[in-house]
Structure 1
Amino acid sequence: MIIVKEEKGTLGTYYGIYLNEVKIKKVFIQRIKQALDKKEYVLLLNSHGIVIENVFKYINFSYYLNTINSKEVAGNALKILFSYSEIIDKEIKDFNKNDVQNLSEFILGISVTGNNSEFKLKTSRSNNTHNIYFNIIRKYLEYTGINNKNFFEKVVVSKSGIGFFAHTKEIALSKYKVNKSSFSIDKNIVPKYIKNEEYNNIINLLNKEKTLNSLRDKIIINLMYARGLRLGEVLGITFEDIKVNKDDSRAGILYIRNRVSDKKYQMAKTCYKPKSKAEYKTRIYNEKDFGYQTVILPPNITKDISDYRELSRDIENLSIKKTENILNESVADSVENENNNFYLFLNKNGAPLSSAGWNKRLKIIFDFIGINIDTQNKKNNLSHRFRHGFAMFLIKNEGKSIEYVQKQMRHKSISSTLIYYNPEEKDILKETLKISQNMRRRLE
């Protein structure tokens, strides 16, 4: 029997292949991170120490991967893929269904004993990591033109219970057959969100202050609560991203997109991230819903933005130092022309408002209004509660369909929207009492 053992060496993990307790082969795929001309590259070496060229191209030049962290994760996923390919001595393009299933167990770290072989693995991985790795592998296969349908086989599953009861509506969803269910104890819990009453209290507070910063804060909160923007999307807004709405000149259209000049906290999560200014003219960057997204702005937000832009750049009422900071530090790349462009939201010194600065301000507002900050759980905290509140307002107050909410939230997958349709305990009680009362009326 052949035994495959996961082993540790000075340079990392490798796999020893044994026959009758004699090592006959060593599979050692190395993932290396190397800097060149101030850029970091990730590459894989096969067991013979040769760079795997297609992997190098995919990791470092694919538009899917934009940060060094994402490149390293891709390197980890492909390291496992190529390790398994060498272990079973088969080209990836020739993997059959059993090979893909066995690769799945290999990624999870499941030690399996078969008729002719036994795997003794030490590293275990979560279902979520497993799915991320397979997603990377599928993208790699697409990038390199490797046609193997066994990696892409899908099954149809259903997700029910869109209303307060499971029979209300059923939505059919498909998933990759090899993907695993990602269980989470928070899976069926609606995330913390700003309720409409809390939102109104915050806006009333800011309206009373009547300062430039309170106007800025009101715009930011309205963009997140009334239009569902993420904080990074808000902080990355520049002058040229705001357009007049052709159907109503009082309203506006906001373009959400990334720039090379953006800081990490100014990034739009679901838009393409350009690596150089030259990409501003490419088809990918200018493709709607991939390179950029648009959001309609109602007249009140459009007017507030116009007022803030004018007041925050009123040179006659600004110090020389603050004016210099605005002109030097708040400059943003122009992606449309050669005109000067600036980030919209500023801190007290005239530099672009950062996420740290905004969070500090928001904590003060929450504390004044009496909203629990929940410092022990950052996942449910602060700015993203407004976006969650936008979704819940559409559902609970407006009675909008899941498809409508998905579009407004700009979710790529409807499964991301489903979480908002899980009722809270008090809502279940309210519905139960309502049904009970209706039943009694019919009996009378």
Structure 2
Amino acid sequence: MGRFTGKPAALKDSISPPVNLSPCPAPRTVTQDAGGLGAMKPCAMKTLVALLSLFLLELQVPLRAGRANTGSQKESDWARQFPQCGGKKQSPINIRSNKVKFNPNLKPLVLNGYETHQGPFIVTNMNHKLHILLPQTMRVNISNGQEYAAWQMHFYWGNYSSEISGSEHTVDGKRHVGEVQVIHYNTNYNNFQEAQNTPDGLLMLAALFEVKEYSENTYYSDFINHLKYIKYPGQSTILNSIDVRDMLPPDVRHYYTYQGSLTTPPCTENVLWFLLKDPIIISRAQIVKLENSLLDSQNQTLHNAYRMTQPLNGRTVETNFIPLGDPSKALSPPPHLRVLSPVCSAMKTLVALLSLFLLELQVPLQAGRANTGSQKENDWAKEFPQCGGKKQSPINIRSNKVKFNPKLKHLVLNGYETHKGPFIVTNMNRKCA
């Protein structure tokens, strides 16, 4: 949860027009009969449900005590109004991988109901952060058997274009480009409101973002495309479906865990944190779009809304995996290749040219390939019927949906070691081979 960059909009503002309900079409006229409303289109019904949800949100989920009064208050001043913000178990923290404690009794988290849900899901610009209301059928079970129900999903980022990262937690002093946090409450209590002030009330499941230039994360595409509808604080939009499991890293088995707090006022120190070891991979274009879609109450682009890391104060960070050792101790690379003599090089060149000549005679392009020209992929099946078959490649592999087969053995690769050339590299018009 991040720093306040301006006076947060009161929650009632979050239901003020315009509330964009994309991608539903423009509202249609609803006929009335003696019984009241006539037949209502499904999309209109979803709109009604969404607006009702926002109204109930105002009644049931007030801003945490004092949030609306922080205004432009600096983070360093929070403790004056919210004493727990100056406590000894505050979050976020810097995790030093050489100081964490391996606990063999910590089991992987069990995520139930995290797969695709049908909406509507309300996404709101909260002025200092972005959040999504989640169905409470989403549950997390931890090692001791305790169950927690999901409540909200929060996002934080920096300013990637200015080379400023924006995650709240850091690992070995490194701040990642962003962070997602899913807040849960202990199901021993009836609801979030009852649990939020109890010593064992809350759990936060968090993951860090990492950018790979062209690695678009398609599970985030629809979500990011909806942000244009909530540019201003208090605006909300609707996602028709969401799969939180796919928005997390593929491997959620390994994590860091510690006892901490909320990262915004009132900073209650009743949060059991689980920071996943693996990051969420997104592309540079996606993080830039995410960072530049929203404005705060000062009409400034919402950047760098994270809280600074807090002192550990003797707390222990535990893991259920053994961190890797010092990278500097890794094996050194193999010796450099020998420089070939001029005579040997000339012979290899001659052999390579001869091989190219033989290739032209013996290895024609695969049937039809030379004729595809600028043919579009969706036209391939007209000429090659199997291109429209039911067992086509490539596919998207969902690591949390694959089936383990204990009978499958490791592949045995023979003759894959270094070979002496020449090796012919050819531009095949549509690929390199």
* Common fold: TM-score over 0.5: no
TM-score (norm 2): 0.23
Q: Which has the higher contact order (CA 8 A, sep 6+)?
A: 2
Higher helix share: 1
**TM-score, normalised relative to structure 1:** 0.23
